[in-house]
Structures are given as structure tokens and as C-alpha cells.
Amino acid sequence: MGRAGKALKQVLETYKISQNRLAVTMGVGRSNVHRWVNDVMDPSAEAVLDIRDALREIHPDAATDFIRLYLGNSEES
């Protein structure tokens, strides 16, 4: 699984944020979020920033954790 998708999946589960809520906040289709979370497609660099911004709007701690997990130690992969 891509690092961003893995981080996103963990954050959504931890903070009980639905894929639909994230998609609506970002202004994208829920299918995009589904693809990222289920490792069908990695989000672009721009989308990673949009994910961070949307998570910050929903729950600031979720945004912080997403970035921490995404940028975490590469040896953890």
C-alpha cells in the first residue's frame, strides 16, 4: 500500500471520519478517496496537501497525524 493511502486509512479509522465526509470537504468524488484508502491509486502531491487541509478543517489532530504518518520513518514501510 502506498504511504499516503496507508496513513489516510489509519487516520480515517482512528478519528471515525467517513470517506464521504472527507470527499465532500475536499470537493472530490468519494470514489477518489476510496481509491486512495484501498491502494487502487496513490494521491498526487497536490491531493496530499488537499487531504491535509480537509482533515485540518474536520479535525486538526487528524491532519497532524496524517502528515506524521505520511512523512514517518521510511524504515517503517
pTM for this one? 0.89
pLDDT category at 12 given cuts 50, 70, 90 is very high
Q: What's 34's domain CATH number?
A: 1.10.260.40
Any residues with CB less than 8 A from the CB of 65 and at least 6 apart, and which?
A: 7, 10, 11, 14, 15
The domain tally of the chain equals: 1
- Extract the C-alpha cell encoding 46: 497536490
28-59 pLDDT, tens digit per residue, is: 999 999 999 998 999 999 999 999 999 999 99
CA distances from 35 to 46, 73, 75, 76 (A): 16, 24, 25, 22
| Model pLDDT, residue 44 | 94
pLDDT at 17 over 80: yes
From CA 32, how far away is CA 38, in angstroms rounded?
A: 10
pLDDT band for position 73 (50/70/90)? low
Q: Residue 14's domain spans which residues?
A: 3-76
| Distance between CA atoms of residues 42 and 57, nearest Å | 22
Tell me what pLDDT residue 77 has: 44
